[in-house]
Amino acid sequence: MATPTLIRAALPSEAELQVFASAVAQLLIERLARVQGARAVRRRAGIGTQYFDQRDYAPGDEVRHIDWRQTARLRRPIVRRFEAESVSDWTLLLDCSSSMAAHGGAKWQAAVRMGAALSYALLQLGHRVGLLAFGTRVLAQCPRGRGPHHYAAIAAMLASLQPAHAGERSELGVCAQHLHGAASVFTLSDFLADQEMCRDLSALRQRCTALHVMQLSDGAEIRLQEAGEVDLLDVETGARMPMQADAAANRLASLERAAMTARLRRFCASSGLAFTDWDIAQPWQQGLLQHLVRARSQC
């Protein structure tokens, strides 16, 4: 193994980000409830400051929203409704474990590029975006924010993050206590912890409005470059295992990885989570676009 070096992920260029943001803008707007024969409009009632319409008071409505003038005129309690704002909160969970740095850090670089692009696109649409980098614990956190300046903060944080080359495990569950308020969560990880990841995803699901699962797969992690007698070293746990490296071993590893992905996919489907297995050999734009389309169709 080569001497560990810093893995610096190159962020997408401004032009790439803008093109991608415009392409996925429609996919990132809050979906409206559509009824048969109705025209899809983008305005709806909700929590906001812009007056939308008024209706009869119902128990549980905010008393401060009662329109006293209309109540006096119509002789029944009328409350004002305000136009719901079309923006929401997003939190990106970025796996910063040692497995992301393995094999030259290709997965880490891909995750950083995808996270930056998603943040840029969301911020362009006015959403508030936050970032959590996790390993065994939360390694870095960027609070939710809005606007182009916030992208600069997220980009700076992404550029400064550096996964440990060994000993840093993935503990997705540690992010749950850092999630506050209604937010959509987008998780970028290789999900190599299998059962533990499913448990943690279940915990996260309770703390967010929507949970996106983006699994990063790298062909190098199931293909050994050496042949013959080797000792395999798990970069996260440090465990060793002797084995005979050959094509058959690579094939078995590929099958094992596919099985893990299938289990995770089934779990996400059963839990209503948007899941995508992204082979990082493909462009990040393609992977993210497919995921958002799939998520739009599921929700």
Partner 1 sequence: MLISLLAPLFLLGLALLPLLRWLHRSGRHRRTLAVSHLGLWRGAAASHATAGERRPPDPAWRRRALLAALLCVALAEPQLTAPRTLLTLWVDDSISMLTREAQGNRLVEGLTQARAQLAELGPATEVEVRTLSEPWINQGTLTAASAARLAASAARQAPPEPPAPPTPPLALLHRDRLHWVLTDGADAALLAWPEGRRPDRIIQVGSVNRNVGLERLSARRNLQDPGSFDLLLKLTNGGSAAETRVLVVATDAGEVARSTQRLDPGAALLVHALMPAAAHVRATLQPGDALPEDDTIDLDLAPLRRHRVATDSGCPRALLAALATHPALALAAENASDVEAQLDCGSRRATQGLATLRVLADRLPQRLPGALQWSPALAEARHKSFDIARPQVVARLQARPADAVLLAIGGAPVIISRAGGSPLIETSLDFAAAARDPAIPLLVNLLFERLLGKRLLDETALTDRGANASRVVPAARPSADVGGVASAPLPSPARLEHELARPLLVIALLVLLWEIAALGRQWVRMRDQPTRGTFG
CB 53 within 8 A of CB 42: no
Q: For 88, how many CA atoms within 13 A lie in the half-sphere containing its CB?
A: 15
Candidate list 95, 171, 221, 277; residue touching partner 1; CB under 8 A: 221
Does the footprint of partner 1 cover residue 167 (CB under 8 A)? Answer: yes
Candidate list 6, 31, 206, 226; residue touching partner 1; CB under 8 A: 226
Does the footprint of partner 1 cover residue 262 (CB under 8 A)? Answer: no
In the complex with partner 1, which residue's Cβ is closer, 62 or 194? 194
Per-residue tokens: 133:
């980098």
CB of 179 to partner 1, least distance (A): 25
Relative orientation angle of helices 106-124 and 148-160, to the nearest 10 degrees: 170
Does the footprint of partner 1 cover residue 249 (CB under 8 A)? Answer: yes
Does the footprint of partner 1 cover residue 5 (CB under 8 A)? Answer: no
DSSP conformational letter for 267: H
Count of other CB atoms within 10 angstroms of residue 137: 11
Does the footprint of partner 1 cover residue 140 (CB under 8 A)? Answer: no
CB of 142 to partner 1, least distance (A): 24
CB of 191 to partner 1, least distance (A): 10
Query: What phi, psi does 160 have (nearest 5°)?
Result: -90, -15
Does the footprint of partner 1 cover residue 197 (CB under 8 A)? Answer: no
In the complex with partner 1, which residue's Cβ is closer, 232 or 262? 232
Q: Which of 121, 124, 125, 127 lies closest to 90, judged by CA?
A: 127
The rounded distance, in Å, linking the Cα atoms of 154 and 121 is 13
Q: Given the rule CB under 8 A, which of 27-35, 54-62, 171-179, 234-242 is the region that contacts partner 1?
A: 234-242
Does the footprint of partner 1 cover residue 99 (CB under 8 A)? Answer: yes
CB of 250 to partner 1, least distance (A): 8
Relative orientation angle of helices 14-28 and 106-124, to the nearest 10 degrees: 60
In the complex with partner 1, which residue's Cβ is closer, 35 or 239? 239
Helix (H) or strand (E) holding 68: helix 68-74
The rounded distance, in Å, linking the Cα atoms of 284 and 278 is 8
Does the footprint of partner 1 cover residue 194 (CB under 8 A)? Answer: yes
Residue with tokens 């983008």: 42
Residues lying near partner 1 in the complex (CB under 8 A) are found at 1-4, 99, 102-103, 136, 164-168, 190, 192-194, 218, 221-222, 224-226, 228-245, 248-250, 252-253, 255-257, 260
